[in-house]
Amino acid sequence: MDWIPVDLERSARRIERDIETLAGPEYTRSEEAIRRYAYTPEYRNTLDYFIRELEDAGLECSEDPVGNLVARNRPAGERVFGIGSHCDSNRNGGKYDGTMGVAAAVEVCRLNRELGLDLPLQVISFLEEEGSGFGQMVLGSRIVAGRVTEEELMGFRAIDDGRPFFEHAKEAGYEPERWRECARILDDLVGWIELHIEQARVLEDTGKRLGIVDAIAGYVHADIAVRGRSDHAGATPMDLRSDAGLVMAECMLELERLAREAGRGTVGTVGEAELEPNLINAVPGRARFSLDIRGVDEEAFRGVARAIETFAREAAGRRGASAEYSERQSLPVTPLDERVVGALEEAARESGEPYLRMASGAAHDTMCVAERVPAAMVFVPCEGGVSHSPEERADPEDAALGAAVMLNAIRRLVTAG
């Protein structure tokens, strides 16, 4: 099937306009970073902006009972191809994470109409992918996939004011008690593609403009709490201490060793660390640290989680302390659909631009969509791999290329049936 040529410069200008507009003061709660999350006025303004753009492209927009945005160019019940991402942000976010994916999906819809292709499309912008409002990653898509229970939803509380998720959702005009009906937004989808910035340096370092993603890493998020004994930092001899901080330090180094030894793309990170009493002249009696362990090999990354739990208990015991492991959340590896991946690869080759087939180390809404719908992702480079930061940078020209590749892949998939 012949490549459909696209005016990439015009597409890039439109995507850049979308992104720069949504970096304005109406769309963020801070002058220092992009901060917008579920049920805030700034998030509402962002949805309204995309609704206007999608309606101009010929789509009809609606929102599900918790606030996932859905736009279609076909009546309900007709088969459509899904595209989209999320437009909420990290609490210290940049302009491109998520938002560029929704902007690229909107551009696919514009091109579809302008080129007279009439491809059946549905755009979704998922709620709370970053978890900045309620501390729950990929929350909107997890609700759609049925990966939460009503008891869990009732227990989720806003980070800022402690009020329940249901209360915030109702106040924003939604009907969260009907959350099970959110699953319907995937009913008509024959496929799904999400464009996202890579959030790493692989594409940049290899000189590629496109990444075709064939798997998304699974992960374990957990905590280890160490109980030792707090003593005076000057009066207590080194061999009489039960220093919880040293247990934490040993575990951090062991996590690095275990992840390297596991290989196969496994990574391990301690991103949060706390000491008590946290005084310069006191031996730490307690420590807590987080674990983020990921990979595309299920046994490898879960093996690291098991091993670091055992190591922590043993390391604590050697110092007269104790350690307790508690899991926050765990998600399995998500293999993506070979047919959709293949169509994207073929479209990328036809574009003449360099691309790389790769896995995603970061979690995305596509993990949840892929349970029910054949799915894949497109990555575009971000400068220096910087993400979740106001310093985040990506090139709208790369997003325009990604949108053109998506358009051509969808045409191939829809035509082939």
CATH of 8-216+333-416 given 3.40.630.10, 1.10.357.10, 3.40.190.10, 3.40.50.1000: 3.40.630.10
Q: What is the pTM of this model?
A: 0.91
Query: CB of 125 within 8 A of CB of 68?
Result: yes
Q: CA–CA separation, 179 vs 68, rounded Å?
A: 11
Q: Which pLDDT belongs to residue 187? A: 98
168 is in an annotated binding site: no
371 is in an annotated binding site: no
Domain with CATH 3.40.630.10 in the chain: 8-216+333-416
Q: How far is Cα 243 from Cα 332, in angstroms, rounded to an integer?
A: 35
**Domain 218-331: assigned CATH number:** 3.30.70.360
**Residue 20 known to bind ligand:** no
What is the pairing mode between strands 355-360 and 210-216? parallel
- Determine whether the annotation assigns residue 388 to a binding site: yes
For residue range 133-182, list pLDDT tens digits in order. 999 989 999 999 999 999 999 999 999 999 999 999 999 999 999 999 99
User: Over 80: is that where the pLDDT of 13 sits?
Assistant: yes
Alpha helices for 120-243 (secondary structure H): 139-145, 150-155, 165-171, 202-206
Positive or negative: CA dihedral 110, 112, 115, 118: negative
Residue 239 known to bind ligand: no
* pLDDT tens profile 62-120: 999 999 999 999 999 999 999 999 999 999 999 999 999 999 999 999 999 999 999 99
Q: How far apart are CA 163 and CA 159, in angstroms?
A: 8
pLDDT digits (tens, 9 = 90+) for 46-59: 999 999 999 999 99
Beta strand ranges found along 234-316 (DSSP E): 267-269, 273-276, 286-295
Q: Are 121 and 129 in contact (CB under 8 A)?
A: no
